[in-house]
Structure 1
Amino acid sequence: MKLMRFGPRGDEKPAIVDADGGLRDLSGRCADFAGPGVSLDALAALRDLNPADLPLVQDPGRIAPCLAWVPNFHCIGLNYSKHAAETGAQPPKEPIIFSKATSALSGPNDPIVIPRDSVKTDWEVELGIVIGKHASYISEAEALSHVAGYCTINDVSEREFQMERGGTWMKGKSAPSFGPVGPWLVTTDEVPDPQKLDLWLSLNGEVVQSSNTSDMIFGVAEIVSYMSRFMELVPGDVIATGTPSGVGMGMKPPRFLKPGDVIELEVQGLGKQRQKAIAAT
């Protein structure tokens, strides 16, 4: 299934994509897509619905984040060897885990708001994991059975805030609009191997990131299993799994977002995003 949400801020509705690519309104037929609403049990109930019986959305307007809210917005850092190299870091021996503020959650086509005092706002196309079942101390063999689905994520980052201002990475990752998620939450039955997905990002029409999830240092199963040793993962948690090379901080000279820049990005089979950068007011 491909699940998504649409509508203006504060009035979003859940929907399902039918076999012809049409959008079918799920309002009143299920909980919104967040927390228990994306548990494996909730998704199983959705599979019993016939999309043809649901109202067809003629004009969805704004495409909202595919998740209404997230209990936790986890991220994995330096998870592609070429990206680690372009930042001057050694490939990690274990997954680097950090968080974004959940208030960073944003729609796939909403503007990226460059924060006040920002000089190094950057882009990062990533495969996102959505957890569908409580996970604690699970093996790699069990890990994928705890996943609800996958999505496209842009892990927008302010590099000065992240790297040069002390403390944790979180403050460079968490500004409003820094977590575009969607357009779709694609259930695992449509993604037979999450380690065989192309992903790319373009800036003003120039492709600057192009890779495949086969190049991840730590794959999806290893990430989920590893994280479950240190915390309980819960339905609706999202995990951004790291970005390939081609980010602005790795360019020579470095290149960062300015108002008017347009970013487009996609993870194979999970849908495309398009964002325009604007200045914070």
Structure 2
Amino acid sequence: MKICRFDDNRLGIVEGTVVRDVSAALDCLPRHGYPLPNYDPLIANLPQLRARIEAVAPHCRTRPLADIRLLSPIANPGKIIAAPVNYKKHLDEARAQPQIHHDSQVAEIQRIGLFLKANSSLVGPAEGIALQHPDRRNDHEAEVVVVIGKSGRNIGRAEASDYIAGYCIGLDMTVRGPEERSLRKSIDTYSVLGPWLVTADEIADSANLDFWLTVNDEARQRANTRDLIIGIPELIEFASSFYTLHPGDVIFTGTPEGVGPVLPGDRIVVELQGVGRMEVAVRSE
């Protein structure tokens, strides 16, 4: 199932070139008072929601996909987790380019671990990217994103697939500079997630997914998840050895070589096998 959020927080399922508005299915989600939970209620109740969607869908109207504004499919992630330099060729690229490393040592992911991005940086593709610090290089980084489906701590790689709700496309935008990654990558609109959530049952082999990125139709990045230094099950194991993972937590799994700068007016397109196509406009803040 391809589940999206659109317009004024409507819920939809994507069926080819149309979206079926199944917002009526949201009535199965529990209501929360203060304090709010530290997880995403939709993802935490995904099995019940899917059953409710299937029940109401035949009676719901459709709209052309081209006519809606796609929001982030995950509204309330507890954490945005990211894996730095998780493709060997990108590690080599980062070490070779002073515009990327800024005289800082670019160490292997096994040594430096993962990092967190501010939740306030999260947007959907329709909201686009608002560039900040225009005097610096602002780079695109295409990534496969894993959405956690249930809570777990110290999850072994062999059982990691049981904790995956689904997959999305991610753009991990970054301002180049000497500061820590989490600061430079946590700017508002610098975590783009979309175009929708594809549930895990639709992805037969997450270790063999092609994805690619273009800017203004120019090819920039192309890779396959088999080239990850630390694969998806191992990333879940790694992250959960430090903190509890909750429903709706997202893991940006790393970007391949070919990162490069974007400018206001550019159009970024990312495509991921089995998931879809995400188009994102770049503007000035």
Task: Please report the TM-score for the alignment, with normalisation by the length of structure 1.
Answer: 0.87
How many residues are paired up? 262
Q: Which amino acid aligns with 1:67?
A: I
Question: In structure 1, what is the equivalent of residue 13 of structure 2?
Answer: 16
Query: Contact 1:104 / 1:177 at 8 angstroms: preserved in 2?
Result: yes
Once the two structures are TM-superposed, the CA of residue 216 in structure 1 deviates from its matched residue by 0.3
Against the structure 1 CA distance between its residues 240 and 143, is the aligned structure 2 distance closer, same or farther, given a 3 Å change threshold?
A: same
Against the structure 1 CA distance between its residues 273 and 58, is the aligned structure 2 distance closer, same or farther, given a 3 Å change threshold?
A: closer
3-state DSSP of counterpart to 2:114? strand
The separation in 1 between residues aligned to 2:174 and 2:147, in whole angstroms, is: 21
Query: Contact 1:140 / 1:221 at 8 angstroms: preserved in 2?
Result: yes
The gaps in structure 2 that reach 5 residues or longer are 31-38, 96-105
Q: Which structure has greater helix proportion?
A: 2
Question: In structure 1, what is the equivalent of residue 269 of structure 2?
Answer: 264
Q: Which amino acid aligns with 1:53?
A: H
3-state DSSP of counterpart to 1:170? helix
Query: Contact 2:86 / 2:255 at 8 angstroms: preserved in 1?
Result: yes
The separation in 2 between residues aligned to 1:213 and 1:108, in whole angstroms, is: 22
Q: Which amino acid aligns with 1:75?
A: A
Q: Which amino acid aligns with 1:174?
A: S
Once the two structures are TM-superposed, the CA of residue 224 in structure 1 deviates from its matched residue by 0.4
Question: In structure 1, what is the equivalent of residue 46 of structure 2?
Answer: 42
3-state DSSP of counterpart to 1:28? helix
Once the two structures are TM-superposed, the CA of residue 44 in structure 1 deviates from its matched residue by 4.6
Could you give the per-residue CA deviations for residues 175-225 of structure 1, whole angstroms, max 9, x where no partner exists?
A: 111111111100110001111110101112110101111100111111001
Equivalent residues in 2 for 1:11-90, closer than 5 Å: 11-18=8-15, 21-30=17-26, 31=29, 35-39=40-44, 41-47=45-51, 49-50=54-55, 51-58=57-64, 60-88=67-95, 89=106
Question: In structure 1, what is the equivalent of residue 257 of structure 2?
Answer: 245
- Which shows bigger deviation, 52-61 or 199-208? 52-61
The separation in 1 between residues aligned to 2:277 and 2:112, in whole angstroms, is: 27
Query: Contact 2:271 / 2:278 at 8 angstroms: preserved in 1?
Result: yes
The separation in 1 between residues aligned to 2:170 and 2:265, in whole angstroms, is: 20
Question: In structure 2, what is the equivalent of residue 6 of structure 1?
Answer: 6
Could you give the per-residue CA deviations for residues 7-45 of structure 1, whole angstroms, max 9, x where no partner exists?
A: 0xxx22111124x5531212131249x712112x42354
The separation in 2 between residues aligned to 1:184 and 1:24, in whole angstroms, is: 13
Could you give the per-residue CA deviations for residues 68-126 of structure 1, whole angstroms, max 9, x where no partner exists?
A: 22111110111000000100145433572111110111112332111145411100110
Question: In structure 2, what is the equivalent of residue 194 of structure 1?
Answer: 206
Question: In structure 1, what is the equivalent of residue 182 of structure 2?
Answer: 170
Query: Contact 1:3 / 1:15 at 8 angstroms: preserved in 2?
Result: yes
Q: Which amino acid aligns with 2:12?
A: A
Q: Which amino acid aligns with 2:205?
A: D
Once the two structures are TM-superposed, the CA of residue 264 in structure 1 deviates from its matched residue by 1.0
Q: Which amino acid aligns with 2:74?
A: L
Query: Contact 1:149 / 1:185 at 8 angstroms: preserved in 2?
Result: yes
Once the two structures are TM-superposed, the CA of residue 246 in structure 1 deviates from its matched residue by 0.3
Against the structure 1 CA distance between its residues 184 and 28, is the aligned structure 2 distance closer, same or farther, given a 3 Å change threshold?
A: same
1:274 to 265, 272, 279: 279
Query: Contact 2:160 / 2:237 at 8 angstroms: preserved in 1?
Result: yes
- Which shows bigger deviation, 65-74 or 77-86? 65-74
3-state DSSP of counterpart to 1:29? helix
Query: Contact 1:4 / 1:16 at 8 angstroms: preserved in 2?
Result: yes
The separation in 2 between residues aligned to 1:117 and 1:99, in whole angstroms, is: 23
Identity of counterpart residues, as a percentage? Answer: 34
Once the two structures are TM-superposed, the CA of residue 245 in structure 1 deviates from its matched residue by 0.4
2:121 maps to 1:125 = no
Against the structure 1 CA distance between its residues 123 and 136, is the aligned structure 2 distance closer, same or farther, given a 3 Å change threshold?
A: same
Question: In structure 2, what is the equivalent of residue 141 of structure 1?
Answer: 158
Against the structure 1 CA distance between its residues 201 and 277, is the aligned structure 2 distance closer, same or farther, given a 3 Å change threshold?
A: same
Once the two structures are TM-superposed, the CA of residue 2 in structure 1 deviates from its matched residue by 0.6
The separation in 2 between residues aligned to 1:52 and 1:278, in whole angstroms, is: 39
Runs of 4+, deviation exceeding 6 Å: none
The gaps in structure 1 that reach 5 residues or longer are 249-255
Once the two structures are TM-superposed, the CA of residue 53 in structure 1 deviates from its matched residue by 2.9
